[in-house]
Chains A and B, each alone.
Chain A
Amino acid sequence: MVLPIMINRAGITWDPWDEMGQLQQAVNQLFSDYTCTPSDFPSVNVMANDNESVVTAEVPGIDPKDVSLTVSGNTLAIEGERKPETAQAGTVYHRQERGFGKFSRAIRLPYEVESNAVKATFSHGVLRIALPRKESSKPRRIEVQAE
Chain B
Amino acid sequence: MTAINTQTKSASEKDARAPEQTRNVPSYTPAVDIYETDTDVFVAADMPGVDDKHVEVNLENNVLTLTGHSTPDTAEGYTLLRRGYVAGDYIRSFNLSEDVDREGIKAQMKNGVLRIRLPKAKEKQPRRITVESA
Q: A93-B34, A94-B35 are in contact. Are A56 and B82 (CB under 8 A)?
A: no
Question: Main secondary structure on chain B at its contact with chain A?
Answer: loop
Which of B33, B48, B50: most chain A Cβ within 10 A?
A: B48
Which of A46, A99, A126: most chain B Cβ within 10 A?
A: A126
For residues 101 through 131 of chain B, which have their beta carbon under 8 Å from a beta carbon of chain A? 109, 111-113
B46 to chain A, nearest CB (A): 4
Contact with A along B75-93 (1 / 0, CB 8 A): 1011111111100000000
Q: How far is the CA of A6 from the CA of B44 in the complex (A)?
A: 54
Contact, CB under 8 Å: B111 / A61:
yes
Contact, CB under 8 Å: B77 / A110:
no
B121 to chain A, nearest CB (A): 17
Residues of A within 8 A of B46 (CB): 60-61, 98, 125
In the complex, B36 has a CB within 8 A of chain A = yes
Which of A47, A92, A94, A126: most chain B Cβ within 10 A?
A: A94
In the complex, B25 has a CB within 8 A of chain A = no
Contact with B along A28-65 (1 / 0, CB 8 A): 00000100000010011111110011101111111100
Contact, CB under 8 Å: A91 / B35:
yes
Which residue numbers of A lie inside 8 Å of B, CB to CB? 33, 40, 43-49, 52-54, 56-63, 85, 87-88, 90-99, 107, 110, 122-126, 128
8 new A-B contacts at CB < 8 Å, known A48-B78, A88-B37, A94-B4: A48-B79, A48-B81, A58-B85, A61-B112, A91-B37, A94-B34, A94-B36, A98-B44
